[in-house]
Structure 1
Amino acid sequence: MAALVEILLPVPRNKGPAYRNIREQLTETFGGVTFYANTPAECLWKDGVETEADQIIVVKVMVDEIDGEWWRGYRQELEATFEQEEIVIRATPIERL
């Protein structure tokens, strides 16, 4: 089933080359990518008592089928690249019209 995969990436300093690599890899692997990088979104969450804040960009890819193993490995690569405890990658089933 077709799906829209969204990757929520942090906006760190000096990661321009990492973003370029992500664009190239996802375009090569899936035939295209949408990169919402010009207007970072602000994210807030509770970590115990403290409220944490971060800025993210959203990367979207349409896929014909979800390869869970590939996406889990890719998430681990992104977590290492961006030095994050967790990178969120989520998929929503879609119907192409």
Structure 2
Amino acid sequence: MVLVEILLPLSDNSGTPFPTTLYREVQERLAEKFGGATAYMRSPANGLWREGRGSSHQDEVVLFEVMAETLEATYWQTVKGKLAEEFRQNDIVVRATNITRL
């Protein structure tokens, strides 16, 4: 079994928050495909990263989790690209971890 996590920004690059409906649509699409999806929207995570030796960047992100039987890499690459377009980002973090469901 695989746990797939998606980190989506809370607001665009100008600081304007994305509408809540956009996150609900993402969650519904994931739940439709995988039978369920969890979104951590009430307490956004705060991310900080550096580009090389340049300035640091900060962002608040919403975490989505999906459990799947197998990792369909092609599917997730497509989802990642669509989410980058929807959320007007250069890149979206999508990560997968092998898990054991108890």
Q: TM-score, normalised by structure 1?
A: 0.94
Tell me how large the CA RMSD over aligned residues is.
0.9
2:35 and 2:50 mapped to 1: Cα distance? Answer: 37
Aligned to 2:57: 52
Instruction: Provide the identity percentage.
Output: 38
Aligned to 1:15: 19
CA contact (8 A) 2:44 2:61 kept: yes
Q: SS of the counterpart of 1:32?
A: coil
Structure 2 gap ranges (5+): 12-16
Q: Which stretch of the first structure deviates more once superposed, 13-22 or 62-71?
A: 13-22
Q: In the TM superposition, what is the alpha-carbon distance from 1:49 to its structure 2 partner?
A: 1.9
Question: For residue 67 of structure 1, what is the amino acid of its counterpart?
Answer: E
Q: Deviations over 1:6-27 (max 9, x none)?
A: 0011001133221111111011
Q: TM-score, normalised by structure 2?
A: 0.89
Aligned to 1:33: 37
Aligned to 1:68: 73
Bigger proportion of residues as strand: 1
**Structure 1 residue runs of 4+, over 6 Å off?**
none
Question: How many corresponding residue pairs?
Answer: 96
Q: In the TM superposition, what is the alpha-carbon distance from 1:51 to its structure 2 partner?
A: 1.0
